[in-house]
Amino acid sequence: MLKLEKISKVYSTGYKKVQALQDISVEFRKSEFVCILGPSGCGKTTLLNLIGGLDRYTTGDMQIDRVSTRKYKPRDWDSYRNHTVGFVFQNYHLIPHQSVLSNVEMALILSGMKKNEAQKRAAKVLTALGLGNQLEKKPAELSGGQMQRVAIARALVNSPGILLADEPTGALDSETSIQIMDILAEVAKKRLVIMVTHNPELAQKYATRIIRILDGKIVSDTRPVTEEERNKAKKTRDFSARGKTSMSFFAALGLSFSNLLTKKGRSLLTAFAGSIGIIGIALILSLSNGARNFISQVQQNTLSGYPLVIEQDTSGLSGVVNNLMTQTENAQGDYSEAPSIVYNFASSIKEASSGKVDLSGLKKFVETDKELQTHISAVAYDYGLNLDIYAKDPNGEIVFSDILSMLKTDYQNLLETRYGKIFFDLLNTQTWKELLPGENGELIHDIILDQYDVVYGRWPEASDEVMLFVGKDNTISDTLLYSIGLKSRAELSGVLTASFHRESL
C-alpha cells in the first residue's frame, strides 16, 4: 500500500512562500482507479509529483509498503521512479525525432534491458494498445489520442505498480478521451492508477474512487481505505522497488546525445542542445520518464530567453562578418585561386542591406511543416509597429519612454563616431514588448506563465494591460526606471556623460 501521512509542500520562490499542499493524509490500494479533482492551482500536480518521486515533500512522510521514504537517498528515489511508477502527461512528452518504437523502448534500455529484448517488449505493449502498425512512425505523424497511447505504452512497459497521469485527456477531444479512459480503467484492474483531471464527468464514469482537493487540502474522498483493508495489507509488498537503475555512463552518454542532437549543423538549437545534453546525461542516469519532461522544460526555458527572430529585411552584420571570415579562411593556403575577398565582402554588405525575406512563404512553411512543428514551442508575429509611449520624469520633463531614443538625440554623434553607423541597428533595447500570445486565442503563452511568478498584482486579463518584468532578485534596471518615469533624464544623462568621458581619457 502507498500511504501519505500529513504531507505538506511549501514552495519558496524568492521571499515568497507558497503552501501547495497541507497535511495530506491518504492511503492507496494496490489496484484502483483514483481520480483527483480540483480547480487549477489547488495542488494536484504537486501531489502527483510527490507521489511519483519527482519532487520532495517538505514535511510529513510517504510510506511504500510500510517503509518510510523519509530517509530515502537519491538512488532509492531513482529506483522507485524507474521500477515502481510510470508517468503520463497531458502533453505526451514524446521525443519528436524518435520513432514510436524507440520512444517506448528507451524506457526499458534505461532500466538496463538489452536492445533486442527491449524492442520486442516495447512492440508487444504498443500492439496491445492498438499501435502495432504505427511502430516506425514519428510522433508528429500520429493523432493526439495515438500519441497519448504511445505515452501510456512507455509508462507501462516497465510494468510499474503505479501509473500516474496528469490530465492525460486535457488536450484530447471527448471521443478520444473516452478511449484513453477505457485503457486507464483496464490498467487499473491490476495496478494503482492515480489520475488528475479537470473533467468531473469522466471521473464519475470511470474512477473507482474520487478525491477532491481544494487549496492544498483533501476535502472529500469517496472510498477511503478501511481499517479491515489496512490490516489485510499488512504483510503484502505491493510497490516495493525491485531493482537498481542500471545503465552505464557511456550508454547514457550515447543515448542522451543521440536523442538530443539529431540535427547537426549550424543551428542555434544545436548549441543549446549540446549544453542540455550534458545536463541530460546526469538526469537520464537518474530518471527515466521524468527526465524527458525535465529536459524539454530546460530546453523550453533556454529558448524562450533566446528566441529565433526572423525579420523582413536581411540586415545582419553577422552575415557580413561570417562571409568575410569564411572567405578569409578559404583564401588561406591557396594563393593561386584565392577568391576576391573585397568583392565578396562588398556584395555581402549589399545583400545584407537590401535583401528581403519572402515572409508569406516563410509563414506558410512555419505553419505547415510537420517536422518543424515538433521543434517549435511558440511562434509570434509582429508588424514592426512601435508604441509611442511617453513618461513624465521626476523633474516634470516629458520624455520618450525608450532609452534608445534618448541615446539617439543626445549621443548619436558620439556613439556613431566611436562604434560606427551600425551602432543603433545592432542595439535592440526595446522597452515595450508585446507578450508572447498563447495558442487558441489565449492572451499569454504558457511559456511565459510557466517561467514568471506574479510578485505583485495579477496577470493581464485584457490586451490593453501592461506588466513590469523584474529581474531575478526583483531588480529593475535604470533604463527601465527611466522608461516609466521614475529616474530623470538628467540623472541618466549625467551617468552616461561621465562614463563616456572617463573612457575617452
Distance CA 3, CA 225 (A): 10
Per-residue mark of binding to Mg ion, 32-71 (x: CB under 5 A): -------------x--------------------------
Choice between 279 and 484, CB closer to ligand ADP: 279
327-351: buried (b, 16+ CB within 10 Å) or exposed (e) per residue? Answer: beeeeeeeeeeeeeeeebbeebeee
Residue nearest Mg ion, CB atom distance: 45
Report the partner that residue 42 touches, choosing among ligand ADP, Mg ion, none (CB closer than 5 to 8 A by kind): ligand ADP
Task: Work out how close the CB of 89 gets to ligand ADP at its nearest, in angstroms, rounded to a whole number.
Answer: 12
Element (H, E) at 214: strand 209-214
Choice between 18 and 225, CB closer to ligand ADP: 18
Choice between 45 and 102, CB closer to ligand ADP: 45
Q: Which three cell numbers stand for residue 195?
A: 489520475
| Helix segments in 249-305, DSSP class H | 249-260, 268-286, 289-305
Choice between 12 and 413, CB closer to ligand ADP: 12
Report the partner that residue 46 touches, choosing among Mg ion, ligand ADP, none (CB closer than 5 to 8 A by kind): ligand ADP
Q: Which three cell numbers stand for residue 244?
A: 537498481
- Stretch 39-58 residues interacting with ligand ADP (CB under 6 A): 40-46
**168 part of the interface to ligand ADP, by CB under 6 A:** no
Distance CA 79, CA 336 (A): 64
Choice between 38 and 86, CB closer to ligand ADP: 38
Report the partner that residue 280 touches, choosing among Mg ion, ligand ADP, none (CB closer than 5 to 8 A by kind): none
**4 part of the interface to ligand ADP, by CB under 6 A:** no
- Residue 128 near residue 302 (C-beta atoms within 8 A): no
Choice between 19 and 330, CB closer to ligand ADP: 19
Choice between 38 and 52, CB closer to ligand ADP: 38
**13 part of the interface to ligand ADP, by CB under 6 A:** yes
Distance CA 163, CA 84 (A): 9
Task: Work out how close the CB of 55 gets to ligand ADP at its nearest, in angstroms, rounded to a whole number.
Answer: 8
- Collapsed DSSP state (helix, strand, coil) of residue 466: coil
Task: Work out how close the CB of 136 gets to ligand ADP at its nearest, in angstroms, rounded to a whole number.
Answer: 35
Report the partner that residue 13 touches, choosing among Mg ion, ligand ADP, none (CB closer than 5 to 8 A by kind): ligand ADP
Task: Work out how close the CB of 194 gets to Mg ion at its nearest, in angstroms, rounded to a whole number.
Answer: 13
Q: Which stretch binds ligand ADP (CB under 6 A): 12-20, 115-123, 349-357, 388-396?
A: 12-20
**Closest Cα to residue 314, out of 341, 281, 354, 344?**
354
Q: Find where cell 521514504 sits.
A: 69
State how far the alpha carbon of 204 is from the alpha carbons of 96, 162, 211, 217, in Å: 34, 21, 11, 20
State how far the alpha carbon of 210 is from the alpha carbons of 196, 198, 430, in Å: 10, 12, 50
Choice between 171 and 331, CB closer to ligand ADP: 171
Task: Work out how close the CB of 62 gets to ligand ADP at its nearest, in angstroms, rounded to a whole number.
Answer: 16
Residues near 69 by beta carbon (within 8 Å), at least 6 away in sequence: 53, 61, 62, 63, 76, 77, 80
**Count of residues in contact with Mg ion, rule CB under 5 A:** 1
Distance CA 313, CA 353 (A): 8
**197 part of the interface to Mg ion, by CB under 5 A:** no
Choice between 45 and 323, CB closer to Mg ion: 45
Interface residue with ligand ADP among 1, 4, 20, 194 (CB under 6 A) is: 20
Interface residue with ligand ADP among 5, 8, 18, 22 (CB under 6 A) is: 18
Distance CA 106, CA 363 (A): 35
Element (H, E) at 165: strand 162-166
Task: Work out how close the CB of 139 gets to ligand ADP at its nearest, in angstroms, rounded to a whole number.
Answer: 24
**38 part of the interface to ligand ADP, by CB under 6 A:** yes
- Residue 196 near residue 166 (C-beta atoms within 8 A): yes
Choice between 196 and 320, CB closer to Mg ion: 196
Distance CA 224, CA 227 (A): 10
**Closest Cα to residue 172, out of 115, 97, 88, 251?**
88
Q: At what angle do helices 100-110 and 144-156 cross, to 10 degrees?
A: 20
Report the partner that residue 272 touches, choosing among ligand ADP, Mg ion, none (CB closer than 5 to 8 A by kind): none
Binding site for ligand ADP (CB under 6 A): 11, 13, 18, 20, 38, 40-46
Binding site for Mg ion (CB under 5 A): 45
